[in-house]
Chains A and B, each alone.
Chain A
Amino acid sequence: MEHIPILKVGEFLLVSIQVDMHDRLAMTLQDDLTTKLVATRAKGVLIDISSLEMVDSFIGRMLGHMAAMAGVLGAEAVVVGMQPAVAITIVELGMELTGVRTALSVDKGMALLRTLVDEDSFTLNPVS
């Protein structure tokens, strides 16, 4: 069975989608990500979509689900690298990607993840 690789980088997971996914592959990725989040107790997930030539409503919904699942499992998710033409298209399509945090590049995404995770730990363990 085909899988999209999920790499562990420090306390984060990195998913780089390099192929045009058919629907089942996208669903498999969602399952794999939740399994990996639980197994590694990662605090954040970076989803790189810079190779994606399009994001249709199915893939958009999948990105939303992955962000939501990460949230439920105590991790932050950031989608990075969306191509400008893809951004224009999803806005005109009417997709809102509610709840999906985005950043322009992997570097900026990593920085955002770090900030979010630090904020989380501050909220969870307030210094008294």
Chain B
Amino acid sequence: MIFTKSKTLALRSEEEIVLVRQATRSWMVEQRFTLVAQTKMMTATSELARNAVVYGGGGSARLELLEESGRVGIRVQIEDRGPGIADLEQAMTDHFTSGQGLGLGLGGSKRLVDEFEIWSEPGKGTRVSITWWK
């Protein structure tokens, strides 16, 4: 796998949630991903970015443009140094929420993308990686 481009953006405020989802979209527009792909990836990015800001106390987002056997992909990795998630399985179920959200964030984001990976350690933080292949 080749990384053709990457960029790290801070994720500390609501405004930065917008910047991160807009950056994801503009990279995908540049690479001519379909409109549905752009919309799904942008929405998943927004959900995860909000989790990092609201529950993780802020963090960062790393955007990567990938190439593997002639296919172009985009990956967004969102990381925070928040409290972490003790029970990942429970956190992935729909309507599970630790706060005031709809509880669609993790499970819903997973449904929207091609690849979804999550690492979390209580007391250390959470990292989620989502990828869309063209």
List the interface of chain A (C-beta within 8 A of B): 20-24, 53-58, 60-61, 83, 85-86, 88-90, 92-95
Contacts and interface: CB of A to CB of B under 8 A. Distances in A.
A95 B111 CA distance: 12
Contacts of A90: 43
A21 B107 CA distance: 23
Most chain A C-beta atoms within 10 Å of own C-beta, residue among B22, B40, B50: B40
Contacts of A56: 43, 46-47, 50
Given A54-B42, A57-B104, A89-B39, 14 more contacts: A21-B18, A22-B18, A23-B17, A53-B42, A58-B46, A58-B101, A85-B39, A85-B40, A89-B40, A92-B108, A93-B47, A93-B112, A94-B107, A95-B102
Given A54-B39, A57-B105, A60-B102, A93 B111 contact: yes
B1 interface: no
B108 A93 contact: yes
Given A89-B36, A92-B112, A57 B107 contact: no
Given A20-B22, A60-B102, A92-B112, A54 B43 contact: yes
Contacts of B111: 92-94
B104 A88 contact: no
22 contacts: A20-B18, A22-B15, A23-B14, A23-B50, A53-B42, A55-B43, A57-B108, A58-B46, A58-B50, A60-B102, A61-B101, A83-B35, A85-B36, A85-B40, A88-B36, A88-B39, A92-B40, A93-B43, A93-B47, A93-B109, A94-B104, A94-B108
B43 A61 contact: no
B25 interface: yes
Contact of A85 (B22, B38, B102): B38
B39 A57 contact: no
Nearest to A26: B14
Contacts of A92: 40, 108, 111-112
Contacts of B75: none
B114 interface: no
A92 B114 CA distance: 13
